[in-house]
Structure 1
Amino acid sequence: MALTLLVPALPARACQTALLLAIDVSQSIDSAEYRYQTEGLADALADTEIAEALIRGRMALAVMQWSGRDAQNLSIPWTRIHSQADLAAFAARARAMPRAYVMSNTAVGEALSFGLAQFAAVPDCARKVIDVSGDGPDNAGSDPRLARRAAERAGIEINALAIESLGLSITNYFRRAVITRGGFVMTARGYRSYARTLREKIRREISQIMF
């Protein structure tokens, strides 16, 4: 009689980080600036170091678009990045992603609250991060500091990419009212530098995997 060995299945590697990329599509963003954001995101994901770290960490990625008080949309739902094919498909969706809203105001607090709720779908990920980009402060909705406090209580990190045209007003606003303790802001000097700044920002956010 043949002896059958029962070999236990190896446990799947855990998700290291869930990263929610939150893109500003308020009325201050024209069609060209929207495309700078989507194409910049797709290009950042093609970076060799970023791609290797995302796959090695089996990260979960999602993209939301946000604008006014009732204008938040999970445009690309949570996707587990287990292979180069997964990442390429995600980047292609980001590049082709239609704009969710036009001619709406800027409700940063509601955007953050919507973003926080999305992490219920990825409870197994060790780190949870919102990466919010924008070119202006809130002019509608709730105080974003309320959502920031909720994020800190939940152990969710908020970082920001400030798109500046003059001065550092948006960078300072994000520092004061948006990012969590231990979070950070990176500044793009206009939309043409968005892709480069986003690459640097994602590298920093996943540095625990890379190094």
Structure 2
Amino acid sequence: MKAATLALALFAATPADAACRQALALGLDVSGSVDAREYRLQLDGLAAALTAPEVVEALLGDGGAPVRITVYEWSGPNYQRVILPWSDLSDPVAIASAATVLRGHPRPAGQPVTTALGAAVETGIGLLRGQGDCWRQTLDISGDGKSNTGIRPQDIPDAALPPGMVVNALVIGADVDIYAGDPRTEEIQELSAYFQSYVIRGPGAFIETALGFDDYEAAMRRKLIRELQTLAIGMAPLP
């Protein structure tokens, strides 16, 4: 009877009862394929996306429990570094503060050149595992290439993820005009198919695409809005 009562209470819980509506862990690819300019475009683009009016509105519009985020960078199997520790985006000041941390973060020296995508996913899972007081846990992985070292993302068992956790992806392709018939567009299509098959998982998981790092800010903005709108739909009361 006690177990049944607990299960019923958990089922009936709403985002308003949680300490946070959603925990978002964002992993940024800083492997050898990412040069100094592209590194800055990622961090500054994420900062700009977080402070875009439509994203701020989505973050704060509910007026209830906040969205909580952390940001880390990744490359080789043993290189994952937290840039922004877990932070509750509870008001415009908190959002601006998070953006300031991202804009002020310099690129460390000596980063590995390899792409350990599986290890990056494992890091995100570990970060989210400690956020059980949030109504939803979402991992956002940004990448411009396939895994080439360490555990493969497809070899991470579903059982390793917290229940209900979602892994979304932002795939970064070459700077090309998709309407110009450039054959290099096949690269991003192939990479998107790879992330679709082996990286994203969970209910409603999706891929957003950036046509090069110059498009990163706009793609991140679209992705954040979609994730937060999905959360809002899930929070809507039944008719």
Report the alpha carbon displacement of residue 83 of structure 1 after superposing the two structures with TM: 1.2
1:54–1:81 Cα contact (<8 Å) kept: yes
Matched to 1:62, the amino acid is T
Report the alpha carbon displacement of residue 98 of structure 1 after superposing the two structures with TM: 2.2
Matched to 2:147, the amino acid is D
Distance 2:17 2:97 in 1: 22
1:84-117: CA deviation from partner (whole Å, max 9, x where unpaired):
1111000110111222453420011111111101
1:130 pairs, out of 135, 139, 157, with: 139
The 1:206–1:89 alpha-carbon spacing in structure 2 relative to 1, beyond 3 Å, is same
The TM-score with structure 1 as length reference comes to 0.88
2:18–2:135 Cα contact (<8 Å) kept: no
Corresponding position: 1:108 with 2:137: no
Report the alpha carbon displacement of residue 153 of structure 1 after superposing the two structures with TM: 5.7
1:99 pairs, out of 107, 110, 114, with: 107
The number of aligned residues is 201
Between 1:67-76 and 1:119-128, the stretch displaced more is 119-128
Percentage of matched positions with identical amino acids:
36
Report the alpha carbon displacement of residue 121 of structure 1 after superposing the two structures with TM: 3.1
Aligned residue for 2:76?
Answer: 68
Distance 1:99 1:191 in 2: 16
Aligned residue for 2:229?
Answer: 207
Report the alpha carbon displacement of residue 149 of structure 1 after superposing the two structures with TM: 2.0
Aligned residue for 1:18?
Answer: 23
Aligned residue for 1:175?
Answer: 196
Distance 2:70 2:201 in 1: 20
1:120 pairs, out of 129, 132, 155, with: 129
1:18–1:128 Cα contact (<8 Å) kept: yes
Distance 1:34 1:87 in 2: 21
1:192 pairs, out of 196, 207, 214, with: 214
Distance 2:205 2:231 in 1: 17
Distance 1:173 1:105 in 2: 17
Matched to 2:213, the amino acid is Y
Between 1:144-153 and 1:128-137, the stretch displaced more is 144-153
Give ranges in structure 2 of 5+ residues lacking alignment: 1-15, 175-183, 234-239
1:151–1:158 Cα contact (<8 Å) kept: no
The 1:83–1:21 alpha-carbon spacing in structure 2 relative to 1, beyond 3 Å, is same
1:89 pairs, out of 90, 97, 121, with: 97
Q: CA RMSD in A?
A: 1.9
Distance 1:156 1:210 in 2: 16
Report the alpha carbon displacement of residue 74 of structure 1 after superposing the two structures with TM: 1.5
Give ranges in structure 1 of 5+ residues lacking alignment: 1-10
The TM-score with structure 2 as length reference comes to 0.78
Between 1:125-134 and 1:201-210, the stretch displaced more is 201-210
1:17–1:126 Cα contact (<8 Å) kept: yes
Aligned residue for 1:44?
Answer: 49
